A = this chain, B = another copy of it.
Amino acid sequence: MNLSSHLLESAVKEFAQLPGIGKKTALRLVLHLLKQEESTVMQFSETITRMRREIKFCKNCHNIADQDLCAICNNPSRKKETICVVENIRDVIAIESTEQYNGLYHVLGGVISPLDGIGPEQLMLETLSGRAINGETKEIVFALSPTIQGDTTIYYIRKKLNNPQLRFTTIARGISFGGELEYADEMTLAKSIRNRLPVDSYLQ
């Protein structure tokens, strides 16, 4: 693509480095910004630079934070006895948007995956061990992807934290809402039969 302007070309290149943005989309975005007021574009750039420079990670749960502790750990109305273990920040956002969980989180920063070179020492496990024995914690809820890596991580953490005072749970796995039974994979279907629910609790 010959854009006959170096300035335009480098801006397009920058946008095209973002995930899921091709050269054509990048060009559309850049031409849109070109039509905006200079102050609007300045604000766009400054907000992004500031976000990258000033954002912190919560010392407690490694979620993103504006201060030392994130808004969830800082919130006195959240229940301190439950810690939901997730892979990344996006999972926190997804669970928060359901408005069904009122405990704390712990962001691992990944799952154990030897093939990708990710062992337990690459994950935020030390701080989790510390939190698990602080006396307040009663339940660890695993909300990890239902993959071999996710299950390995659950197994590892459970063994490491090995504490009869703690209750270990995992989010339910089964057939998705709107999912058709005949298209469900065998593994999911098998697990959903084994872990069947009393209809009364399901309809609650």
Contact = CB atoms under 8 A, between A and B. Distances in A.
A48 B51 contact: no
Interface stretch (A58-66, A112-120, A181-189, A193-201): A58-66
Given A5-B55, A34-B52, A55-B8, A93 B46 contact: no
Quick one: copies of this chain in the complex?
2
A7 B10 CA distance: 26
Interface stretch (A36-44, A139-147, A163-171): A36-44
A136 interface: no
Given A14-B47, A66-B7, A89 B19 contact: no
A176 interface: no
A42 B8 CA distance: 17
A11 B64 contact: no
Query: Helix, strand, loop or mixed for chain A's interface?
Result: helix
A45 interface: yes
B65 A5 contact: yes
Contacts of A63: 4
Contacts of A19: 28-29, 32
Interface string A46-88: 1111111111000000011110001110000000000000000
Contact of A66 (B5, B41, B70): B5
